[in-house]
């Protein structure tokens, strides 16, 4: 993301609720029952929510929307085994309920089946994204990958997340690329607030990021994953007829599945703990990519 716009480090409860598709009252209830740890407060004594808080809140909303009881969601987070043991009993009880209320809870049944087949977190993503990932080797997709797809789906919708999944498919199926990705990610993580923006490591790492992204894109093209992306757009268009004039206005303004928010507005409500040195590194890498583009 270019330096002309940077997401906040933290957001207030109202913005957190708007982004997650819930209410401040619901978030306060999550705090009260121990489902969502209460974050630090700012100088005005108001809660401030960071990146990890928002990731957890989004997963809570996904699980709750799928019909999982809040107590069971809390237990799943506590045990750290939400993909298997943490909610296994809940899934069985929920499926019995769904069998009795077929028409009213059809969407919940679909989500639960995906959760059981694909694993809890991946099964909570949309069908469009889950189908894109379902043929990956077991254990090759990381929780951080799913967290990223969750946020992308919230901002840009299922199509945006499904296209982004191409990156994680390439990494999951090419161990050498994954190793390089981990190394660069760790180096970027080390560019914390103590590192000045003119530190030589920043420019060097930008070069390494640019080289890696170019290699990743080459693998995507050589493996035909970019053609799969084209098929995704065709499949999406087939599932979603031509928009009306009003719908076109929403699309042109960046609106997706974020309620009344545009994608740009949604980005501004998702906090990231990114240092000035990390932003500078990203900007330099983008500049290098622009220099290599055919148009330049």
Q: How far apart are CA 152 and CA 108, in angstroms?
A: 22
Asked if residues 163 and 196 have their Cβ atoms less than 8 Å apart, the reply is no
Q: Which two tokens stand for residue 243?
A: 């928009």
pLDDT reported for residue 100: 58
pLDDT reported for residue 98: 57
Cβ-proximal residues to 169 (8 Å cutoff; 6+ apart), any chain: 132, 133, 136, 225
pLDDT reported for residue 181: 96
pLDDT reported for residue 119: 52
The gap from C-alpha 155 to its chain's centroid, in whole angstroms, comes to 9
Residues of the chain below pLDDT 70: 1-5, 79-120, 242-260, 293-296
CA angle at 71 for the pair 65 and 74, rounded to the nearest 5°: 85
Question: What are the structural domains, with CATH classification, of the chain?
Answer: 13-103 (1.10.1660.10), 122-240+266-292 (no CATH)
Q: Which of 19, 56, 273 is nearest to 154 (CA)?
A: 19
Q: Which two tokens stand for residue 154?
A: 């919230």
Please give the DSSP secondary-structure letter assigned to residue 11: B
Asked if residues 160 and 256 have their Cβ atoms less than 8 Å apart, the reply is yes
- Over the stretch 212-224, which tens digit does the pLDDT of each residue have? 999 999 999 999 9
Residue labelled with tokens 């409500």? 269
Q: How far apart are CA 82 and CA 171, in angstroms?
A: 24
Q: How far apart are CA 151 and CA 63, in angstroms?
A: 15
- Over the stretch 28-80, which tens digit does the pLDDT of each residue have? 999 999 999 988 787 777 889 999 999 999 999 988 888 888 888 888 787 65
Asked if residues 21 and 261 have their Cβ atoms less than 8 Å apart, the reply is no
């Amino acid at each position: 993301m270019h330096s002309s716009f940077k997401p906040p480090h933290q957001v207030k409860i109202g913005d957190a609720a708007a982004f997650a598709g819930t209410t401040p009252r619901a978030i306060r209830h999550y705090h009260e029952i121990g489902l969502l740890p209460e974050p630090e407060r700012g100088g005005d004594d108001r809660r401030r929510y960071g990146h990890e808080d928002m990731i957890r809140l989004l997963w809570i909303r996904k699980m709750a929307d799928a019909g999982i009881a809040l107590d069971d969601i809390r237990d799943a987070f506590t045990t750290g085994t939400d993909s298997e043991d943490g909610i296994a009993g809940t899934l069985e009880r929920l499926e019995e309920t769904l069998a009795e209320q077929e028409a009213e809870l059809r969407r919940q049944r679909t989500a639960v089946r995906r959760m059981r087949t694909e694993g809890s977190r991946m099964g909570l993503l949309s069908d469009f994204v889950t189908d894109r990932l379902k043929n990956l080797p077991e254990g090759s997709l990381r929780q951080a990958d799913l967290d990223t797809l969750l946020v992308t789906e919230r901002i840009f919708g299922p199509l945006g997340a499904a296209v982004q999944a191409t990156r994680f498919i390439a990494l999951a199926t090419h161990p050498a690329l994954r190793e390089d990705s981990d190394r660069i990610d760790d180096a970027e993580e080390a560019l914390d607030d103590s590192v000045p923006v003119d530190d030589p490591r920043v420019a060097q790492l930008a070069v390494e990021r640019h080289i890696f992204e170019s290699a990743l894109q080459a693998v995507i093209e050589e493996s035909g994953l970019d053609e799969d992306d084209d098929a995704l757009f065709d499949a999406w268009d087939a599932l979603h007829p031509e928009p009306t004039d009003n719908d076109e206005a929403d699309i042109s303004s960046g609106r997706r599945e974020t309620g009344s928010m545009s994608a740009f507005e949604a980005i501004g409500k998702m906090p990231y703990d990114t240092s000035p040195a990390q932003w500078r590194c990203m900007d330099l890498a983008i500049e290098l990519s622009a220099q290599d583009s055919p148009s330049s």
